[in-house]
Structure 1
Amino acid sequence: MSWFFISVVVFLAGHIIPGLMRNQIVGWMGRRAYVFCFSVLSLVLLIWVIHEVLVADFIPLWPFAPWQVYVALCLMLPACILWAAAILQPCPLSIGRKNGFDPNRPGINAFCRHPLLLGAFLWGLGHVLPNGDLVAVIFFGGSAVFALVGFARMEKIRMKEMSKAEISEILAGTRRFAPRAVLHGAIGLGEIGLGVMIYACLIIAHQYVIGISPLGALGAFGG
């Protein structure tokens, strides 16, 4: 289990330190190279943490019940749609594309400025119940908290690159979380379609990557 905690510490350091030194690193290697290297580093560290979760000692906290998988599946669909929105729409104050934002048509930003992070929160929250062992709860619960903390952190990072006029304009037409905006076109058919595709791919790949089939668990519930 010690390697799990080591991987978590390194994962956090791999995000905090580059963030603190962002301006210096960007000045040295350029923004595109920084984003690429940071993304690769984050992915590698995340894979390492997940590996340690899978091989860590199993310390149960509550028994598994197949119905818990329904919770994860129900939360993962909106998470995937939010990830799709982060891909298709500009998110000037968060992770994702910042160019092309129109304050008169904020899109997903009227619902949430951080669709990728909100999706990560739902992913972490949804995976806590069906993974009732100590290490998994720490990992998934911690991931959910980490995503929420990222809301304010990402805004702070992005605002450093903007003028006061740009910041005021963006803040006026966007929200950290405003559910009513869904009824006013914040999420379109394109985001829903791509989100469903991501959702289906994750369900299919889950068995091969993680070694557990969500649909197989539901079959056990039905039997």
Structure 2
Amino acid sequence: MTLLILGLVLFLGTHSVRIVADPWRTRQFARLGELKWKLAYSALSAAGLVLIVYGYGQARLDPLLLWQTPVWMRHVAALFTLPAFVLLVAAYLPGTHMKARIGHPMLAGVKLWALAHLLANNTLADLLLFGSFLVWAIIDFIVSRRRDRAEHRRRPEAALRNDAAAAAIGLLAWFTVVRYLHAPLFGVAPFG
């Protein structure tokens, strides 16, 4: 469990610098330059992610159950993750109404993904992993929206075809993960 916690602190801590220390981040970015900053940020994030994956895997070997979860909740969780995938795609596809309206669809998608997994899973490791991501995404979403308003940030024009593309790509990615990847990677077939 220690490695999972260390990984979460490292990964989410790195991703929280702009939330808690934006002026420091700006100074470091200027001092190091874009390339060095991004390399350091990426290396710390990758190390955190490796620790999360390894630590979560280790914690699953001796799980501490916190509550009983009905089997059908897996289906509910799988359905919750569908819009999470669409929102994730919309975050990186320019000109979607989703991005214009929500502002930060990736964070909204992370919130849905984490909530879905909290509903379907019932161990201490699950609570730490998905609960941490949910809390982080909520806080980052609120801070990011406030920053957007303070900077009077305007969203670019959106086109319905871009939303349709985000939905189609998100649906395809979701189907691929749920049908072919989730069971071999995580040992759980969401609709199996």
What is the TM-score with the length of structure 2 in the denominator? 0.79
Matched, 1:195 2:170: yes
Q: CA deviation at 1:138?
A: 2.2
Q: 2:70 aligns with which of 52, 65, 71?
A: 65
Q: CA deviation at 1:157?
A: 6.5
Query: How far, CA to CA, are the matches of 2:139 and 2:26 in structure 1?
Result: 21
Contact 1:120 1:143 in 2 (8 A): yes
Q: 2:29 aligns with which of 6, 26, 35?
A: 26
Query: How far, CA to CA, are the matches of 2:36 and 2:121 in structure 1?
Result: 37
Q: 2:45 aligns with which of 21, 42, 46?
A: 42
The one-letter code of the counterpart of 1:13 is G
Identical amino acids, percent of aligned pairs: 26
> Alpha carbons of 1:30 and 1:146: their partners in 2 closer, same or farther (altered >3 Å)?
same
Matched, 1:168 2:158: no
Q: CA deviation at 1:187?
A: 6.6
Q: Please state whether the residue corresponding to 2:122 is helix, strand or coil.
A: coil
What is the TM-score with the length of structure 1 in the denominator? 0.69
Q: CA deviation at 1:39?
A: 4.1
Structure 2 gaps of 5+ residues are none
RMSD (Å) for aligned C-alpha atoms: 3.0
**Residue 127 of structure 2 corresponds to which residue in structure 1?**
137
> Alpha carbons of 1:32 and 1:152: their partners in 2 closer, same or farther (altered >3 Å)?
farther
Query: How far, CA to CA, are the matches of 1:156 and 1:38 in structure 2?
Result: 24
Contact 1:111 1:186 in 2 (8 A): no
Structure 1 gaps of 5+ residues are 91-105, 175-183, 217-223
**Residue 89 of structure 2 corresponds to which residue in structure 1?**
84
Contact 2:9 2:48 in 1 (8 A): no
**Residue 13 of structure 1 corresponds to which residue in structure 2?**
13
TM-superposition CA deviations, 1:100-146 (whole Å, max 9, x none): xxxxxx72234301100000000000001221111211211221111
Contact 1:108 1:187 in 2 (8 A): no
Query: How far, CA to CA, are the matches of 2:8 and 2:97 in structure 1?
Result: 34
Query: How far, CA to CA, are the matches of 2:144 and 2:43 in structure 1?
Result: 18
Contact 2:11 2:47 in 1 (8 A): no
Query: How far, CA to CA, are the matches of 2:172 and 2:38 in structure 1?
Result: 26
**Residue 106 of structure 2 corresponds to which residue in structure 1?**
116
Query: How far, CA to CA, are the matches of 1:130 and 1:53 in structure 2?
Result: 16
The one-letter code of the counterpart of 1:202 is V
Query: How far, CA to CA, are the matches of 1:68 and 1:123 in structure 2?
Result: 14
Q: Tell me which stretches of 4 or more aligned residues in structure 1 moved more than 4 Å.
A: 155-159, 184-187
- Higher helix proportion: 2
Query: How far, CA to CA, are the matches of 2:189 and 2:17 in structure 1?
Result: 36
How many residues of Structure 1 are paired with residues of Structure 2 in the alignment? Answer: 184
The one-letter code of the counterpart of 1:124 is A
